[in-house]
Amino acid sequence: MIKLNPFAGLRAGWLDLSGAVSEISADGLSRSLAWSRNDDGTFCADDETALFTLAVEKLSSGIRIRCTAEWKKNVPEHLIFTPVTFPAFPADHAFFCGERMGNAQTALLPVKKSRDFQGRHYAALTRGKETVLMTSPLNQKFDNFFRGRSVGGLMLKWRCDFEFHHNDLSGKTEFDPVTVECGDGIRMLEQYGDDNCEVKKDFSKQPECGWNSWDYYRWTITEEEVLQNAAFIAADPVLKHHVKRIIVDDGWQYCYGEWEPNSLFPRGMKFLADELHKMGFKPGLWLAPAIVEPHCRIAQWDYDMLACSEGGQPCLAYRCMERYGFVLDPTLPKTQKHLEKLFDRYAGMGYEYFKLDFLGAVMSAKRFADRTVPRCQVLRKLMGAVCKGVGGRAEILGCNYHFYNGNSFVDSVRVGGDIHSHWQSIKANTVSVAGMFWANKKLWINDPDFSLCRGLETSNDPDLQRLKACLVYCAPHDGYNKGLEFNLASTRFEEQKVLLSLDLMAGGAVNLSDKMSLLNEKGIELARKIVAAESGFAGRPLDIFERELPVYWHQSLKKGGRFLVINWEDTPQEIKVDWNIAGNPVEVKDFWSGKIEKCINSVTLAPHSCKLWEY
């Protein structure tokens, strides 16, 4: 057999695939794979770990790669199979989709400093107006990652890695196909959403709006404050018609892993659910079902339920806001029964919505009891147990949910990172919200995080900036760090409108998270407008593959649509407006002011502001 390059002479638009190579890394040592052609036109490579095969399917705009492995004895504990790595090439823009909320990465090339990228599901590189998109299926059989490094105007070692850690590998493995195509990036992603819907769901109804306790109260939430906010909403002439659920977030429980009410909820969670039902709301509850804090009884007595370190012992795999915890091992029947019982109990109390948080923390552990379960299937074991306990009695929001677990277990999914009424937070959140637009109302309801209405000009709250959430990061030996004085609410009115306009563009979940009675007239009016607005289809970030933050967004409604332009800069900007995307309307309505305006070809926007039109 003659050693050949499977990618010789192939292209995906502007990207020449000829120089691509394949590699294997076993316990940290890498080597190239040498391919030979089989009689059927496929390729094979005989490595000491496995006999690999590779087939290249030519598409009209690129290729699809399919690989298998027949494993040999004594497969290493850590193995990475890389079917394709591209040599260095120039690009103008890079976008790597994160595996969970808030993890997307984007950059304009050339970059000033070298930068490493890692993503799941898809990675996009653009030159001129054409985007090359590398994808694997959303619901993955085995862990696969897209990686690369940008140096100046070049992308180096853009590749797809399949990873195996502490798995029992035997027999034949068929890897997820990897597709490399060139074209209109937005349309390719919309097609990707169509192709990767595990379970078809009905999204014809308007998503229900809610109120959540977290962003304002954090761990200070009390039973009394929940009921006061619910009463305010129930008495408001607009909010009462649109806010349908009240969600108690983190802070109600004794500790993570011991899900009993603390002293701030003296009459218990069944009482609270009953009271909210009487007021006409659906009660919702936050849990982190996989996290077990060290003083929890499970960590003391039932440590056989915990996922383990490299060395095989229960480990503190969870860390957030300087709280630490073990994580449950969902591959164990004992863990699954515990989760079923927990959610059966709270669904039985009348909770109709569960926000499940820190789900991705499970994957920080290194070893799980059942070595036949691929790592990307571990969370499916957890979610399956939760859903069995819920028994269809409640909706489920997956927060820190790894997207590769598909849409069969969840009704909505957080796609953005944590949002605050803070300009830098709004900017950071936008990247990930934009990168998942294609999933909304196809796979699940996208949740961009809270629709916050309080800010420096929209609140009468004397304690607006009292909470200092980042002080938990201050160690005894540290000098003064201004960043630790981070304010959760520092936005001006125009910045608040940017945040809420992006929530509308997301076309998904809308959850208020302010102390409602302390919003001033401006703040209440923002809340009323955001919950009363029609929920559109997924807004398209039209220049997502041209800029680090999309300026132009378009959204279709049942009749007409919305067009949003944003000035992300610190100085005034004149922004050109092309109304062709909206069908060239003559007049439009400013969403926030309600004024009817003539369509103009450009608009000058103040710093940190936007213009949202409806037509």
Model pLDDT, residue 338: 98
Q: Write out the two tokens for 572.
A: 């005034």
% of the chain residues with pLDDT over 70: 100
What angle separates helix 268-278 from helix 223-235, to the nearest 10 degrees?
Answer: 10
Q: Where do you find CATH 3.20.20.70 in the chain?
A: 210-536
pLDDT in tens, 72-86: 998 999 999 999 999
What is the C-alpha to C-alpha distance for residues 474 and 476, in angstroms, rounded to an integer? 7
Helix (H, G, I), strand (E, B) or coil at 562: strand
Model pLDDT, residue 58: 96
**Cis geometry, peptide bond prior to residue 110 (ω within 30 degrees of 0):** yes
The yes or no reply on domain 210-536 and CATH 3.20.20.70 is yes
Q: Write out the two tokens for 232.
A: 């305010």
State the residue for tokens 């056989």.
304
Q: Which residues of 81-112 are buried (b: 16+ CB within 10 A; e: fewer)?
A: bbbbbbeebebbbbbbbbbbbbbbbbbebeee
Q: Write out the two tokens for 602.
A: 């450009």
What is the C-alpha to C-alpha distance for residues 56 and 453, in angstroms, rounded to an integer? 52
Model pLDDT, residue 4: 86
Write a three-state SS string for 529-545: HHHHCCCCCCCEECCCC
Model pLDDT, residue 169: 94
What is the C-alpha to C-alpha distance for residues 166 and 194, in angstroms, rounded to an integer? 33
Compute the Cα dihedral for 207, 208, 209, 210 and give only its sign. Answer: negative
pLDDT in tens, 164-180: 999 999 999 999 999 99
**Low pLDDT (below 70) residues in the chain:** 1-3
Q: Write out the two tokens for 589.
A: 């309505």
